[in-house]
Every structure is written in C-alpha cells, then in structure tokens.
Amino acid sequence: MASQCGGGYLGGMLNVQGQDRAIAQLQKSMRAQRLGHTWLFAGPMGVGKFKLAMELARTVMCDRPVMRANDGAVSLLPGDFPLRLPCGECDSCRAIEAGSHPDLHIITRDLIRYHDKGGKSKGTTLSIDVIRGEITGDPAQNKEAKIAKRAFRGRGKFFIIDEAELMEPPAQNALLKTLEEPPAESYLILVTPSPQELLSTIRSRAQLASFNVLPDAVVMQELAGRGMSQEDAALLARLARGSLGRAVRWAEDIRTIDDKNAKAAARKAKSGAEADEGEEADTKFTPGGILSWTRELCLQLDQLVAGRSAASDVAGAIAKFAGEYAGLQLIRDRLTSADQAKRDGIAWMMTIAAEWFADRLRHGLGTPHATVLPGITGALDYGLVPQLIASARSAEAQIDMNANDKILLAATTAKWEELLRVPS
C-alpha cells in the first residue's frame, strides 16, 4: 500500500524540531502496528506537542503513506529504520490541509461558547458539554457519540484535545468511560503542559509521550528564517526559554505592534491634532515589543545599581511594559482576562529582572551567558545577587496570588533599591 519513493509530504513529523524522542516513539509504534489509542502528549508550552499530534493524524489517515529510510533524520532511530510519512497529495492529506477532514476532530476552548447555550462560560475550562458534544455523546440529550461512529474515510478517526488540563473533573470522568473501552479505530490525543492536572485514572490509561524544552539554537534558526536579525533572534530565544511557540508569538506581536503603530500614526495624521478616541488609542506600543522592553528594563536596572535612577522609575517601566504585554494578549485572545494578562506581564518582567541579576553574577565570575543582557556599567556587590534574585522570584510567585500588583511592584523595587544602597 505504501509507495517506496518520494521524500514524504513536507517532511511530515520531521518538521517538528527537537523532539526526536517522541517522534521515534510514534514511528516505532506505527512500525510495530501497535499504535496506542489514547495518548498523553506532555511537555512545556510551545515545543511542538500539538503540531506532532496533527502530524500523527496526517500520517495514519494518509491514503498513500510514503516510506523512506531514516538516514539520520531522527537521531534515536537506526539509519535504515523505515519512517512513515504522509504523501501530501491524497484526498485525506488535502482535506487535513484544508481543515475539512471529516475524521479529524480538534477540541479547543474556542468550542466552549458553541456548546455553552447559557452564554455564561468565560472560556477558561473545557466543560462536560464540550466533551459530550464533541466526543462521547449524551444519551439523555439524544446526542450521538462521535467517537463511536465509523470513520468516514476508513482510516481511523482522531480526536485531539488541546490544553486538555482545562477539562473540568466531570468532563474528564465522561471521557474516562470512553477510554475504558476505546472504539477500535479511534485515536485520542490529550495535549497538555500540565498532565498532573488530569485525573490519575486518565493518565494511567494513556500512553505518555514526553516533550522537552528546545535548545536555543533551534528557536534562533526558526526566528532567523522569519527574517529576524541574529542579535534579536538570540535575545528572543533566550527570553522564550526553550519554547518555540512563545518565541514565534512574541515575534508576531512585534509585527502587530508595527501595524498598530502605523495605523495610529495614519489616523493621527488624518484627524490632525484631535484627540483619538478609538478603542485602541489608549495603548501606545513600544516598537520592538518584548525585545525593547527587555533592553529598557535591563538599562533601568543598571541605572538603579549605579544610583542614577530610583525604585519608582523601575516600577514605572515594569508597569508600562506589563500594560503593553496585556494589550497584545487581549488582541490575540479575546477570552483572556485583562487583569490576568497584566499579571502575566509583570511576572515576565520579574523573570527578566532575575535573569539580569544572574547575568551580573556570571559576569563577575567570568562565565558570561552566551547571550548577555545589556547594561553592565554599575558596580554591583555580587554578594547581594542571591537576595535580589530571590526578591524578583518571590514577586513573580506572588503576583498570581491576588496580591495588589501596584503595591507588590513598589515594594519589590524598593527592596532592590534598599539592598543596593546598603554600604558594603
């Protein structure tokens, strides 16, 4: 059935970077014809879990899969291992590409509002209504179980649940009944960064594929491919901490900022000096987004160390950047809460501050980070660094515990200033 020539559709699974362990596991399962019906794809955000789930579906459902020798493509498989890749040309491959494959079901929290007839859901959880409507059915409401129906195209059915940790316990329990007797030709993939939030009974019935953070080089290569300069790509890769998805999102944010600023400038030019009352007019975005925020925050910290700026300056900069971070988050995801987005922004700024303090210590020890954060003029007593880092980390942890963010910011930056002012 499989043809023996060709390179495979755009590489299939081979397009997922840095996850050879998971790819090898799936390829071996397919080769042995023992592909599990329930999978848990677990690992950090933005490292390719969802993408590999899609590639697995594409491969299994392809009408004419291509076989090619591994030949070093997947480091953990022998050179002559026959990789199975989708053809990219059959009706199934085309339907997936067009987003219209009848046997591929992608369950995301965007579906919540469709199933939430009361309109009360804030889109923060996957409720039992979503799981029943999309997968298990509900005899009480005469809803059929999609997972029990025959595959339209006869090559299995895939159900991919993104952010599976958002499933409420009743939703997980509804799913559990299906997992106990999985329909022969159905595959369920739970994609999550937090598997511990799933019921242990669900976890124990699923095969685990673990995903790891990506090396900076992989992230940098992708960003460079999108036209980013080497210097910016290196900084963004460092900030993204092994998450390609995060790095790409931030890179796209930078483009969004350029668009918004250009439109705002055009509106302003059109309306003369009149005050702009547009809904987006109140957020002024710094060109360069997180790259600029990071560089400016680092320079502010350097000024604080040198005694040339005050705690309130640093707090003001963090609040401003967190506001911009939240503004971008809201443009991207209308289901996000503005308050939570701002807290996330402050948490990122605290992470960056902690990294900057750590950089100063590395600098002092003569073992600098490969991508040094800017601002190394002020003389810093290295003995203080652990306390400064602990203070930033503590603020990062507290921001989610409903602390008043303004007070927390003021107190944290004041603590840094106080530590730096103590004569050594």
Residue 7 or 386: the one with the smaller Cβ distance to Zn ion is 7
User: Cβ of residue 180: shortest distance to Zn ion, in angstroms?
Assistant: 32
User: Cβ of residue 57: shortest distance to Zn ion, in angstroms?
Assistant: 11
User: Cβ of residue 1: shortest distance to Zn ion, in angstroms?
Assistant: 11
Residue with tokens 């998971």: 22
Identify which of 28, 335, 293, 286 has the alpha carbon closest to the alpha carbon of residue 166.
335
User: Cβ of residue 91: shortest distance to Zn ion, in angstroms?
Assistant: 8
Q: Which residues bind Zn ion (CB under 5 A)?
A: 62, 86-87, 90, 93
Residue ranges in 333-398 assigned as alpha helix (H)? 338-365, 385-398
User: Cβ of residue 68: shortest distance to Zn ion, in angstroms?
Assistant: 14
Q: Is residue 52 classed exposed, middle or buried when 0-12, 13-18 and 19+ CB atoms within 10 A define those classes?
A: buried
Residue 62 or 244: the one with the smaller Cβ distance to Zn ion is 62
User: Cβ of residue 147: shortest distance to Zn ion, in angstroms?
Assistant: 23
3-state secondary structure of 159: strand
CB 191 within 8 A of CB 162: yes
Which tokens in the block code for residue 178?
A: 């299906």
Identify which of 258, 262, 264 has the alpha carbon closest to the alpha carbon of residue 279.
264
User: Cβ of residue 94: shortest distance to Zn ion, in angstroms?
Assistant: 8
User: Cβ of residue 87: shortest distance to Zn ion, in angstroms?
Assistant: 4
Separation CA 72–CA 285 (nearest Å): 45
Q: How many CA atoms lie within 13 A of 52 on its CB side?
A: 30
CB 53 within 8 A of CB 34: no
User: Cβ of residue 55: shortest distance to Zn ion, in angstroms?
Assistant: 12
Residue 27 or 178: the one with the smaller Cβ distance to Zn ion is 27
Residue 3 or 377: the one with the smaller Cβ distance to Zn ion is 3
User: Cβ of residue 13: shortest distance to Zn ion, in angstroms?
Assistant: 14
Which tokens in the block code for residue 222?
A: 């992708």
- Give strand pairing partners of 313: none
CA distances from 243 to 40, 266, 348, 392 (A): 19, 35, 14, 22
Residue 93 or 130: the one with the smaller Cβ distance to Zn ion is 93
Separation CA 106–CA 163 (nearest Å): 11
Residue 95 or 419: the one with the smaller Cβ distance to Zn ion is 95
Q: How many CA atoms lie within 13 A of 84 on its CB side?
A: 24
Structure letter (DSSP) for residue 409: H
Residue 86 or 327: the one with the smaller Cβ distance to Zn ion is 86
- Return the number of other C-beta atoms located less than 10 Å from residue 180's C-beta: 9
Residue 89 or 258: the one with the smaller Cβ distance to Zn ion is 89
Number of H helices, E strands in the chain: 15, 7
3-state secondary structure of 347: helix
Separation CA 122–CA 397 (nearest Å): 24
Residue 62 or 315: the one with the smaller Cβ distance to Zn ion is 62
Residue 10 or 361: the one with the smaller Cβ distance to Zn ion is 10
